Amino acid sequence: MFSFIARSLIQKVITLFFVAVISFLIIHLAPGDPSQVDPLNPKFTPEMVERFRSQFHLDEPLHVQFALFYKDLFTGKTVSWKDNRPVLDKIWERFLNSLPLFIVGTLLTWTLSFPVGVASAIRRGGLYDRTATFLSYLLISIPGFFFAYVMIIFVVTRFHVPVIGMETFGLNASSWLHAAMDRVWHLLLPSILGATGGIAVLSRYVRSQMLEVEGQDYVRTAKAKGLPEDQVHYRHALRNALLPFVTMFGLVLPGLIGGSVIIESIFSWPGMGRMAYEAILARDYPVILTVNFLSAVLVLVGTFISDLLYLVVDPRIRL
Amino acid sequence: MNDEREKAILGVSDREVLPPAEGRLRSFWRLFRKNRMAMAGLAVFGLFLATALVGLVLTSGTDPLMDPATVRLQEKLRPPLSKPNLAMLRPKEVPALGVYLFGTDDLGRDVFARMLQGAWVSLTVGFVAVGISVIVGIFLGGIAGYYGPRPVRADRVGASVLLTLGAALLFTGSGVTGGAILVAGHLFLFWDLLWGRVPLLREKMPWVRVLRVPLFSVDTLLMRLVDIMLCFPSFFLILTVVALLPASIYNIMIVIGLTSWMGTARFVRAEFLSLREQDFVTAARALGVGDLRIIFRHMIPNAVAPVLVSATIGIATAILTEAGLSFLGFGVPPPHATWGNILSDGKRFIFDAPWLTFVPGVAILVVVLSFNLFGEGLRDTLNPRLKERH
């Protein structure tokens, strides 16, 4: 157990190092230079460009830049090139905006997919199962931005509620209840949109796990004993089918930092995804690299947690 | 004569050594036909292929039959199926069908012609991107599965690190250091090879053996590479690279392809690991068949089923990704239409001209859905456990 943890930690640190190197190379070897963002701007005199380059170490060789960047990152001193604010502060601020979307979306995904998946496994081949299967393919295939516009048209014309942004502008005069409902309405659509793909995929997965367990001998034995249907399905089958999902808690983690670029830009939601998108447009390398690095850390931590959970849950696995 | 004796020895009659009455392809088709959703997917896919080809012919060239770029400002935002106002148009500007089948956009361009032009982009992005990812995946997965246990020696790692570092530095501008490292790498490689060939050197400098210790296996190297690639948030990475590179459809194809091969590589590796231990591979090797022939003639055809399934679903994902990128304004430069940028241009008019959102949206949905259903049907049909039941 201990040696497994140690080995896996070392491996993850090495992986992280290579991720850092590769993302740094991708960004810096791409054609174009961040100091030439706006060559038409009259304020961009050659002296300015020179000062900019030396201030952000762009005149150093690549490996020196790499070392300087990650030294700054680990001491928390990295600043955005666009507005000179510390990157970590910026990310934290946007992270707090994205967090409600993530929490509501994850809750929706996990609470909806299990009942749907289990029910369609129990009624395998029936009308409910076929409808659920088709609907989940539909939800996997629908482009998020198209679905977003369909929902916006529906909600705005049907309920006459504004949904773009985090809250309706200039509403602070009204009562707190009104303001709270406003926030909920604004939160609802982007969260649903963020969750659709997850619901479709996860419910299919729940269904296939459940079907696998339902085919086991002990389930047949339980049925043959004459136990009530519900007891067989929920006490015998479901409990064992849930096993692999415990490990999936770890894999939720990377979603914390990604945010959805497309959904957040449609709804003008000032979250992580939008920040990353704006950073890409402005060639704000420190922000891009930091977001990339943090999300790689979360992926690695997530897989580590899910490995550990597997060890705890499944006694058959001994490493 | 030889055959006869063999049969006599094995004790089988003529009938039993005949190939199975039904070929692989036929039995596959018999099973596949029963899956109605997958058949519908296949039909839509055929229709899409035909549309894209016809669209390419009709909308390209200097004087196309249906010009997706004709601007008619007096006819802007006309709803679907409306008749053009012939009195206001020059003969060249009249739509070829005599009617705006899908309406016109805010510049009066015929949405039907633009959709036809965009179909080809979606099709090629899907197929080329998945083609790249499948080739890379089969190549790396195959190497990891077949040559996996072979060790990678310290001297080879050293030489490749020196050479890559030198080349990278040379490209990024620090010419002197890069060149020096590159030369050092070549010298090291040359000396290392010489040491292996010349017995005299080996006697004089036995300590060089330290450089030849195996560090890790080929399998470890490639699978760690897969782990590294999986750490990148894929849409964000694609967006970054596409935004930094000059706008072109080929960059999108290559980038999507190079960021989505990991699944294929894992499948192929797993298949190769189990195939390598099977009797027919051992038999081929005993006959003296070369590695390449074993891999390409005997193993890849047996490993291709899961790859086919993931490739079909990969096409769906690639089409969605491309649509998302064009929606955000990256990708094909503006006058050229793609389904994503028709939708993106139309989003300002969602309440006045909803067809600009719904036509491309539904088209993407239907095409992606058909690929997903087709892929799932393939998965079910190619599943060996299912085959035995029928």
Residue A138: closest CA among chain B residues belongs to which residue? B369
Q: Within a domain: residue B22?
A: no
Question: How far is residue A115 from each of residues A122, A169, A201, B40, B179, measured CA to CA in Å?
Answer: 11, 38, 14, 28, 63
Question: How far is residue A125 from each of residues A128, B333, B334, measured CA to CA in Å?
Answer: 8, 47, 47
Better-predicted residue by pLDDT, B385 or B147: B147
Confidence at B383, pLDDT banded by 50, 70, 90: confident
Which tokens sit at B160?
Answer: 């490749």
Once rounded to an integer, what is the mean pLDDT over residues B145-156? Answer: 86
Q: Within a domain: residue B24?
A: no
Q: Do A291 and B230 touch (CB under 8 A)?
A: no
Using DSSP's 3-state secondary structure scheme, residue A271 falls into: coil
Q: Tell me the average pLDDT of chain A.
A: 84
Per-residue pLDDT reduced to its tens digit, B19-29: 666 777 887 88
Which residue among B173, B228, B372 places its CB closest to the CB of A18?
B228
A19 contacts on B by Cβ (under 8 Å): 228, 231-232
Better-predicted residue by pLDDT, B142 or B107: B142
Better-predicted residue by pLDDT, B295 or B86: B295
Question: How far is residue B157 from each of residues A60, B153, B304, measured CA to CA in Å?
Answer: 27, 7, 32
Q: Within a domain: residue B212?
A: yes
Confidence at B1, pLDDT banded by 50, 70, 90: very low
This complex has an ipTM of: 0.86
Per-residue pLDDT reduced to its tens digit, A117-152: 999 998 888 899 989 989 999 999 999 889 988 888
Name the nearest CA neighbour of A145 among B115, B112, B321: B321
Instruction: Identify the pLDDT of residue B287.
Output: 93
- How many distinct structural domains can be found in chain B? 1
**In Å, how far is B57's CA from the nearest CA of chain A?**
27
Q: With a CB-CB cutoff of 8 Å, which residues 20-39 of chain A face chain B? A: 22-23, 25-32
Instruction: Identify the pLDDT of residue B390.
Output: 42
Once rounded to an integer, what is the mean pLDDT over residues B145-167? Answer: 85
In the predicted structure, residue A198 carries a pLDDT above the cut 90: no
Q: Within a domain: residue B71?
A: yes
Q: Do A29 and B171 touch (CB under 8 A)?
A: yes
Bridge partners, B152 (sequence order): B216
Once rounded to an integer, what is the mean pLDDT over residues B87-98? Answer: 74
| Domains (range + CATH), chain A | 87-313 (1.10.3720.10)
* Residue A162: count of CB within 10 angstroms of its CB: 16
Confidence at B49, pLDDT banded by 50, 70, 90: very high
Instruction: Identify the pLDDT of residue B388.
Output: 46
Confidence at B9, pLDDT banded by 50, 70, 90: low
**In Å, how far is B283's CA from the nearest CA of chain A?**
35
Q: Do A137 and B373 touch (CB under 8 A)?
A: yes
Residue B237: closest CA among chain A residues belongs to which residue? A292
Which residue among A138, A156, A258 places its CB closest to the CB of B233?
A258
φ/ψ region of A160 (left if φ > 0, alpha if ψ in -120 to 50, else beta) reads left
Residue B319: closest CA among chain A residues belongs to which residue? A143
Which residue among B323, B347, B373 places its CB closest to the CB of A149?
B347
Which residue among B236, B316, B369 places its CB closest to the CB of A138?
B369
Give the separation between CA A223 and CA A232, rounded to whole angstroms.
Answer: 7
Residue A135: closest CA among chain B residues belongs to which residue? B369
In the predicted structure, residue B274 carries a pLDDT above the cut 60: yes
Task: Note down the domain range covering B35.
Answer: 31-385
Q: Tell me the average pLDDT of chain B.
A: 83
In the predicted structure, residue B120 carries a pLDDT above the cut 50: yes
Which residue among A141, A257, A277 places its CB closest to the CB of B365?
A141
Per-residue pLDDT reduced to its tens digit, A9-36: 999 999 999 999 888 888 887 766 665 5
**In Å, how far is A19's CA from the nearest CA of chain B?**
6
**In Å, how far is A276's CA from the nearest CA of chain B?**
8
CA atoms within 13 A of residue B97's CA, in its CB half-sphere: 15
Q: Within a domain: residue B20?
A: no
Instruction: Identify the pLDDT of residue A117.
Output: 92
Instruction: Identify the pLDDT of residue B28.
Output: 81
Once rounded to an integer, what is the mean pLDDT over residues A176-183? Answer: 79
Task: Compute, in degrees rounded to 10, the torsion defined by CA atoms A170, A176, A178, A180.
Answer: 90
Question: How far is residue A231 from each of residues A218, A219, A220, A222, measured CA to CA in Å?
Answer: 13, 10, 12, 9
CATH number of the domain within which B256 lies? 1.10.3720.10
Q: Within a domain: residue B21?
A: no
In the predicted structure, residue B386 carries a pLDDT above the cut 60: no
Phi, psi of B214 (to 5 degrees): -70, 130
Q: Within a domain: residue B313?
A: yes
CB contact set of B175 (below 8 Å; sequence gap of 6+): none
Window from A106-110, B45-49, B66-70, B281-285 with minimum mean pLDDT: B66-70
What string of DSSP letters covers B313-370? Answer: HHHHHHHHHHHHHHHTT-SS-TTS--HHHHHHHHGGGTTT-THHHHHHHHHHHHHHHH
Give the separation between CA A118 and CA A134, rounded to whole angstroms.
Answer: 16
Instruction: Identify the pLDDT of residue B17.
Output: 58
In the predicted structure, residue B369 carries a pLDDT above the cut 90: yes
Window from A58-72, B165-179, B371-385 with minimum mean pLDDT: B165-179
Instruction: Give the dihedral sign, CA A120/A121/A126/A130.
Output: positive
In the predicted structure, residue B8 carries a pLDDT above the cut 50: yes
CB contact set of A129 (below 8 Å; sequence gap of 6+): A120, A121, A123, A207
Phi, psi of B64 (to 5 degrees): -70, 155
pTM reported for the whole predicted model: 0.85
Please name the residue that has the structure tokens 């090139």.
Answer: A81
Kindly state whether A317 is in contact with chain B, defined as any CB-CB distance less than 8 angstroms: no
Which tokens sit at B276?
Answer: 């390598």
The CA-based angle A70-A76-A77, given to 5 degrees, is 85
Q: Within a domain: residue B250?
A: yes
**In Å, how far is A161's CA from the nearest CA of chain B?**
15
Per-residue pLDDT reduced to its tens digit, A269-285: 888 888 888 888 888 88
Better-predicted residue by pLDDT, B331 or A252: A252
Instruction: Identify the pLDDT of residue A246.
Output: 79
Better-predicted residue by pLDDT, B131 or A240: B131
Name the nearest CA neighbour of A245 among A205, A292, A189, A288: A205
